[in-house]
């Protein structure tokens, strides 16, 4: 190790650092001196300019200036506009530079640098005298620029700083020597390392030692790489298997249906997380216990038991439907499929797919109920029409003939309303119903709906009230479609009301919305039914001794869909036994449509 060379480098580096630090300090000292000269010169020039021009004589200036003892002070002079000297005081060995002032000197105070004695220029501060009774006069104050001569005052400081920095060199050298002792010991052991070229065995300094160690490490790395080559192949195979397993598991877990995998003995060996909410049985219980202990559904248990001991071929593709005991209200199907490979030569067990078919079951049941109900709704008015048509044919009494014609007309309107609702629902579901929105006078539309509902209400001994303000904002709606929604809500309020009750059609402005409400004093809607009354074909259950009021479960559904097409919303507030309120919230027509036609 060549520590002497390191010591020499440290000494040179220390000297370079000392030179840089001293240079920076000198530069800072000169900048500080220049700033002080600016403050002193500008302040002195302003002070002289504030005195009357007549008082600025050489004697007065000599008496006023304490700066003649300052080594930097050069001169102070008062001149007129032509450049003639009125009065001046000059430091020894200094001559006031001749020449005119720069342009614009009369507008304010300024500063310039002039040539002076060799090596030290003069910084002059000048400005106009405030008192101009005897003409324009100027004040000129000069200071010598600080040179390197002023460094003599700080020689002791710079010497102390350089000494302290230089004394750090032996300390650093000793620390490096101590820290490199282990490297020196290592260099002595280099010849003992095997499998190295002869040229690498002698380490004279750190670079040789590093090259020797680098050669040794390359040799060792080559041997380690050779030993790890086979291990890497094994790790890659294991990772590939793990990736395939995790990918398959993720794919199975993401399926919307629940999966159960049975081993050849018929016990559950794998289950996805979807099984737990479907069957109401925890995964730990499914995987840890026999089927007989956790399965309480007879149909599913019978299917699983038939898959034991190779019986899966007997139930290939078989599907059972059941309602889980642990999750009331659900309808599930379970389908069994054997897991085989090699064209059936190898059997791994059975796959059971559990699917939630509650919605399909409810839709199928609602559809069946709807067909039966529509058949009844169509058959009843046809029977009435047939009966009163026969009455018309057999009677000559005018009153009976008028009554028959009225009844026939009412039943035809009832059938027409049912068919109209069916057609509108069909248009909604096929997407062919698109509202033509125009600004509509809402009060006229509400009065028309009120007048249309009066005959139906009077026949049931009900009062229909209209509660709207004198002035009501216009809304942008399809008049014909919105009339259908209002008529359905009013029909529903009349149908499910009590004798002697009332139906109120009201409207009000609230924030930026118009709120239309249909309020009745009828039987109300149970909380369990309120969540579903806007579903297609759904009819709320009627409790009490009253006979069912009929209905096909399309009126509220159609009203809600029409309001949604108008970007509005419908809110239900109902208390069983006290009545219901359906509120329609619509945005007011924007001001940009003020010029359009109001229908």
- Give 141-160 pLDDT, tens digit per residue: 888 876 655 555 566 776 77
How far apart (Å, rounded) are the C-alpha atoms in residues 479 and 459? Answer: 27
Residue in this structure with the two tokens 């996805």, named with its chain if needed: 272
Domain residue extents for the chain: 3-99+106-153, 255-356, 361-425, 434-593
For range 510-518, the mean pLDDT: 89
For range 16-25, the mean pLDDT: 79
Pairing mode, strands 332-341 and 85-90: unpaired
In CATH, the architecture of 255-356 is: 2-Layer Sandwich (3.30)
Q: Are 492 and 555 in contact (CB under 8 A)?
A: yes
Q: Are 493 and 580 in contact (CB under 8 A)?
A: yes
Strand blocks (E) in 38-168: 73-80, 85-90, 110-114, 122-128, 137-144
Structure tokens at 430: 């096929």
Structure tokens at 26: 């000198």
pLDDT at position 66 over 80: no
Task: Considering only the C-alpha atoms of the chain, give the largest distance between any 2 of them, rounded to a whole number of Å.
Answer: 151
DSSP secondary structure letters along 6-75: HHHHHHHHHHHHHHHHHHHHHHHHHHHHHHHHHHHHHHHHHHHHTS-GGG--HHHHHHH--GGGSTTEEE
Structure tokens at 379: 């058959």
537 or 89: which leads in pLDDT: 89
For range 446-470, the mean pLDDT: 86
For range 285-311, the mean pLDDT: 81
How far apart (Å, rounded) are the C-alpha atoms in residues 81 and 89? Answer: 19
pLDDT per residue over 414-424, tens digit each? 677 767 767 77
Residue 428: the pLDDT is 66
CA distances from 116 to 44, 79, 109, 123, 329 (A): 20, 19, 21, 9, 108
Q: Counting beta carbons within 10 angstroms of the beta carbon of residue 100, is it exposed (0 to 12), middle (13 to 18) or buried (19 or more)?
A: exposed
For range 91-115, the mean pLDDT: 78
For range 11-38, the mean pLDDT: 80
What is the crossing angle of helices 479-495 and 398-430, to 10°? 120
303 or 58: which leads in pLDDT: 303
Q: Which residues contact 1 (CB under 8 A, 6 or more apart)?
A: 180, 183, 184, 187, 204, 205, 206
pLDDT at position 206 over 80: no
Residues 568, 572, 573, 576, Cα dihedral to 10°: 170
* Residue 546 confidence class, pLDDT cut points 50, 70, 90: very low
How far apart (Å, rounded) are the C-alpha atoms in residues 578 and 318? Answer: 51
CATH no. for 3-99+106-153: 3.30.450
Topology match between the domains 255-356 and 434-593: no
CA distances from 83 to 57, 130, 197, 207, 208 (A): 15, 17, 90, 75, 78
In this structure, of 204-213, 303-312, 483-492, 509-518, the range with the lowest mean pLDDT score is: 204-213
Q: Which residues of 252-274 are buried (b: 16+ CB within 10 A; e: fewer)?
A: beeeebbbbbbebebbbebbbeb
Q: What percent of the chain has pLDDT over 70?
A: 78
pLDDT at position 2 over 50: yes
Please list the alpha-helical segments (H only) found in 459-540. 479-495, 527-530
**CA neighbor of 415 nearest in space, from 383, 378, 379, 388:** 378
Residue 581: the pLDDT is 93
How far apart (Å, rounded) are the C-alpha atoms in residues 23 and 310? Answer: 97
pLDDT at position 591 over 70: no
What is the fold of 361-425? Helix Hairpins (1.10.287)
Average pLDDT, the chain: 77
pLDDT at position 167 over 70: yes
The pTM score is 0.42
For range 484-490, the mean pLDDT: 88
What are the helix and strand counts (H, E) for the chain? 15, 17
Residue 504: the pLDDT is 92
Q: What percent of the chain has pLDDT over 90?
A: 5
Residue 162: the pLDDT is 74
- Most confident residue range from 191-200, 230-239, 308-317, 558-567: 558-567
* Residue 595 confidence class, pLDDT cut points 50, 70, 90: very low
* Residue 456 confidence class, pLDDT cut points 50, 70, 90: confident
How far apart (Å, rounded) are the C-alpha atoms in residues 111 and 41? Answer: 9
How far apart (Å, rounded) are the C-alpha atoms in residues 122 and 428? Answer: 96
How far apart (Å, rounded) are the C-alpha atoms in residues 572 and 524? Answer: 11
Residue 283: the pLDDT is 83
Residue 507: the pLDDT is 92
How far apart (Å, rounded) are the C-alpha atoms in residues 112 and 141? Answer: 11
In CATH, the architecture of 434-593 is: 2-Layer Sandwich (3.30)
pLDDT per residue over 330-368, tens digit each? 889 988 888 876 565 566 788 888 888 888 887 777 777
How far apart (Å, rounded) are the C-alpha atoms in residues 106 and 119? Answer: 31
For range 506-526, the mean pLDDT: 90
């Amino acid at each position: 190790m060549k520590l002497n060379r390191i010591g020499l480098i440290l000494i040179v580096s220390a000297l370079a650092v000392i030179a840089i630090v001293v240079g920076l300090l000198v530069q800072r000292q000169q900048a500080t001196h220049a700033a002080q000269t600016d403050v002193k010169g500008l302040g002195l020039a302003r002070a002289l300019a504030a005195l009357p021009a007549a008082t600025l004589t050489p004697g007065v200036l000599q008496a006023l200036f304490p700066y003649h003892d300052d080594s930097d002070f050069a001169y102070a002079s008062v001149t007129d506009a032509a450049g003639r000297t009125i009065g001046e005081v000059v430091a020894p060995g200094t001559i006031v530079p001749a020449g005119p002032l720069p342009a614009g000197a009369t507008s304010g105070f300024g500063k310039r640098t002039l040539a002076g004695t060799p090596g030290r220029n003069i910084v002059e501060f000048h400005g106009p005298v405030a008192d101009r009774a005897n003409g324009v006069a100027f004040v000129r104050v000069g200071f010598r620029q600080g040179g390197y001569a002023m460094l003599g005052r700080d020689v002791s400081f710079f010497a102390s700083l350089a000494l302290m920095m230089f004394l750090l060199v032996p300390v650093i050298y000793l620390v490096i020597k101590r820290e490199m002792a282990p490297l020196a010991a290592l260099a002595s052991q280099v010849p003992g390392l095997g499998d190295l070229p002869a040229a690498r065995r002698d380490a004279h300094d750190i670079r040789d030692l590093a090259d020797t160690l680098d050669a040794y490490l390359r040799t060792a790395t080559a041997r380690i790489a050779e030993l790890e080559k086979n291990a890497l192949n094994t790790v890659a195979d294991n990772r590939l298997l793990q990736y395939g397993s995790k990918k398959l598991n993720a794919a199975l877990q993401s399926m919307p249906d629940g999966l159960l995998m049975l081993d050849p003995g018929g016990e559950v060996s794998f289950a996805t997380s979807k099984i737990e909410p479907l069957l109401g049985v925890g995964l730990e219980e499914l995987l840890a216990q026999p089927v007989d202990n956790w399965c309480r559904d007879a149909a599913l248990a019978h299917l699983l038991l038939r898959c034991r001991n190779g019986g899966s071929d007997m139930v290939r593709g078989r599907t059972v439907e059941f309602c889980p005991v642990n999750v009331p209200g659900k309808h599930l199907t379970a389908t069994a499929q054997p897991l085989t490979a090699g064209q059936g030569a190898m059997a791994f067990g059975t796959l059971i797919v559990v699917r939630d078919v509650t919605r399909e079951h409810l839709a199928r049941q609602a559809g069946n109920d709807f067909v039966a109900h529509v058949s009844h709704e169509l058959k009843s008015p046809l029977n009435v029409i047939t009966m009163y048509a026969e009455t018309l044919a057999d009677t000559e009494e005018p009153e009976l003939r008028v009554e028959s014609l009225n009844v026939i007309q009412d039943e035809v309107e009832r059938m027409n309303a049912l068919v109209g609702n069916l057609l509108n629902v069909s248009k909604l579901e096929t997407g062919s119903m698109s509202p033509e929105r125009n600004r509509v006078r809402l009060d006229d539309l509400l009065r028309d709906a009120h007048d249309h509902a009066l005959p139906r209400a009077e026949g049931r001994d009900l009062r229909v009230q209209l509660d709207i303000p004198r002035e009501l904002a216009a809304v942008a709606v399809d008049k014909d479609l919105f009339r259908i929604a209002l008529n359905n809500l009013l029909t529903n309020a009349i149908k499910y009301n009590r004798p002697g009750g009332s139906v109120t059609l009201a409207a009000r402005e609230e924030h930026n919305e118009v709120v239309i409400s249909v309020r009745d004093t009828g039987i109300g809607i149970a909380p369990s039914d309120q969540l579903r009354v806007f579903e297609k074909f759904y009819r709320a259950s009627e409790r009490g001794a009253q006979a069912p009021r009929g209905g096909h479960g399309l009126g509220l559904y159609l009203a809600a869909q029409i309001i949604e097409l108008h970007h509005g919303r419908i809110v239900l507030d109902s208390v069983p036994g006290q009545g219901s309120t359906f509120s329609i919230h619509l945005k007011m027509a924007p001001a940009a449509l003020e010029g359009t036609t109001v229908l």
